[in-house]
Chains A and B, each alone.
Chain A
Amino acid sequence: MMDFLNYAINGLLLGQVYALLALGFVVIYRASKVFNFAQGELMLLGAYTVWSLSLGANLSPWLAIPIAFVAALAYGWLIERLFFSRLVGESVFSMVMVTIGLVILIRGVVLVIWGAADRQFPALLPTMPVIVGELILPTSMLVGAGVTLALTLALWYFFNRTRAGLALTAVAEDPYTAISMGIGVKRAVTLAWMLGTCIATIGAVILLNGRSLNVLSADVALAALPVALLAGLESIGGLMLAGAIVGIIQSLVAAYIDPKLGGSASSIVPFVFMLFILVVRPTGLFGWRNIERV
């Protein structure tokens, strides 16, 4: 029973880290209806920046992380300026295709600058687990869950209660109408991409804490996909619940089914689950239903 509880709670925490990564998808989707396939690669950029600053330039983490966030803001700004500002009002199709191009482009740039070798990501958070009774909880994951909660609340407030956040939703709904209502579309999209890169960097710091970092680390964003879909791509508040569900399922499968199959069924479970969600309820738990007109 204790084992089960341990697995479940660790899955819950893992799910919250997935939810954190999924927040990046949602933020960009809310502002432009663009599903950003390059979210994992944005995380990669953030992670390598943190690595360069803290281990390459030997800065203390407390200096490195703020600088990394400034850099992340700059990346977001740059990506919007270079690519998406030219596509305002174009079909969502070309924007999604551009994010697919970015997947490859950013991986290439990272490989050119930092190379393909494994790097040891600095342990900015303690690597010793917290032990409560018989429960063993990784500290970084606990911090991650806290950060996810805080970010979820802040972003929920931002998107639902502030002028700038509501403007983002208006831009996603129809950029032309938004422009004629006096909303700065480019500024809104820039803001969304900056938020997206920042969230990706936070995710990198928590997820990669003390682990090894290479280009393939970006694949973890694919694991966060089912979380974003289960919550519904528009929902910020639903992510934590969705993350908990996906995380617990994955962790229990890893604990009880993997040894029996002798394989890594747990790596595939989020995807099968994602297919299941898409077929049963395409809008996710809390997504918006759109009425389409010709």
Chain B
Amino acid sequence: MDPSGIFFTSHARDRALVRTKRQAATLALLIAALVIAPLVLSDRWVSLGYAMFITMIAVIGLQICTGYAGQVNLGQSAFMGVGAYGCALLLHYPQVPIILALLLGGAAAALFGALFGLTAARIKGFYLALTTIAAQAIFQFLVLNLPGDWLGGAGGLHLENLELLGVNLGNDRALYWLSLATLLVMTGGAFGIVRSRHGRSFEAVRDDDVAAGMMGINVAAAKARAFLVAAFYAGIAGGLWVIALRHVSVEQFTLFNSIWMIAMMIVGGLGSIVGALIGTVLIQLAREGVVSLGPQLVDLIPSAGQDIVFASMNVLLGTIIVLFLLFEPKGVMHRIEIGKRAYRLWPFPY
């Protein structure tokens, strides 16, 4: 709902992403703040920042697949891994530009994802989620069992120092800006996708795939497309990940990480791109909190030793997922909308 006094005379303006001058100003301020932030923040926050941006890209992809198209996807982390390996392989050749390597890594992941999405032609409902578990298993198997000089086996691949436009990417701040720029592009793209014909067909498939089919939507193709988009986003995120760490190995991309991303999406709110961003920030901060509380936790429950940090992370994550599903299935975004509405209507109750 818009505040009073704001109305549009054309459909295009009504559907626009940024509709009022105020929104444009807020957005510009936010982006400016994000760009300037690394100049004032400490190293730790900068590296947390780009880790968040990279995760956000993957979670946006997951949001399109699960939140918009309604397809449970437990393979997002594996798709990220495919992108990471693809990007790393290309970056071994110094003449390949980083942006091209990122895009091709994303394309490789998209192909891998679409392969599993294609099974949607035959499979309905939650069986599709099971094929994504198979994607995870097959990814791990391929990496570990292909000849060692292809993907490095269990040891993984290493990269030399990279440069983009003359800037050394071994620097945390350069990485921050690179991932921020990528995130902005990918977020804009996501808004484009979900507001397009494809996005609307995703929502129709999610709400009732039989009805969607009767309306002339090719349901199987829409599902495959949803996986393609999700895997492409994951692949780009994976590529950035490998550029940031300059190392890629199979244990960075586990089923466990996919579940973290699902938690971020659920906390933010299913079916909202902004929700994916907010959910990622909240969960990453919570995770960071547990890590920094680690020493106290070890003192509190000495029997479990150092493993307690990982264990309590699991408990935290599981509890967050379950509590949100039980008590706020629409996520934080829903609360924000309610708050916004109440603020605009104040002092009237409705």
Stretch at the interface among A121-129, A237-245, A270-278: A270-278
Q: Are A100 and B134 in contact (CB under 8 A)?
A: no
> Which residues of A have CB within 8 Å of B145?
261-265
In the complex, whether A146 has a CB less than 8 A from a CB of chain B is no
B242 CB to nearest A CB, Å: 24
Complex Cα–Cα for A267 and B140 (A) = 11
Complex Cα–Cα for A282 and B131 (A) = 11
Chain B residue at minimum C-beta to C-beta distance from A293? B210
> Which residues of B have CB within 8 Å of A96?
72, 126, 129
Given A87-B326, A102-B322, A115-B304, does the pair A268, B315 have CB atoms closer than 8 Å?
Answer: no
> Which residues of A have CB within 8 Å of B221?
none
In the complex, whether A92 has a CB less than 8 A from a CB of chain B is yes
Q: Are A278 and B131 in contact (CB under 8 A)?
A: yes
Given A100-B74, A108-B316, A268-B141, does the pair A282, B123 have CB atoms closer than 8 Å?
Answer: yes
Q: Are A115 and B307 in contact (CB under 8 A)?
A: yes
> Which residues of A have CB within 8 Å of B294?
none
Q: Mark A254-288, 1 if CB is under 8 A from B, else 0.
A: 00000001111101100110110011101000000
Q: Mark A100-124, 1 if CB is under 8 A from B, else 0.
A: 1111111111011001100000000
In the complex, whether B259 has a CB less than 8 A from a CB of chain A is yes
In the complex, whether A93 has a CB less than 8 A from a CB of chain B is yes
- Number of residue pairs spanning A and B whose beta carbons lie under 8 angstroms apart: 141
**Interface size classification for chain A:** 35 or more
Chain B residue at minimum C-beta to C-beta distance from A115? B304
Q: Are A106 and B318 in contact (CB under 8 A)?
A: yes
Complex Cα–Cα for A23 and B308 (A) = 33
In the complex, whether A3 has a CB less than 8 A from a CB of chain B is no
A259 CB to nearest B CB, Å: 13
In the complex, whether B82 has a CB less than 8 A from a CB of chain A is no
Given A108-B317, A264-B145, does the pair A274, B326 have CB atoms closer than 8 Å?
Answer: no
Apart from A94-B329, A96-B126, A115-B304, 16 more pairs, CB < 8 Å: A92-B125, A96-B72, A97-B72, A97-B266, A98-B325, A98-B326, A108-B316, A109-B314, A111-B310, A116-B304, A263-B144, A265-B141, A274-B131, A278-B127, A278-B130, A282-B123
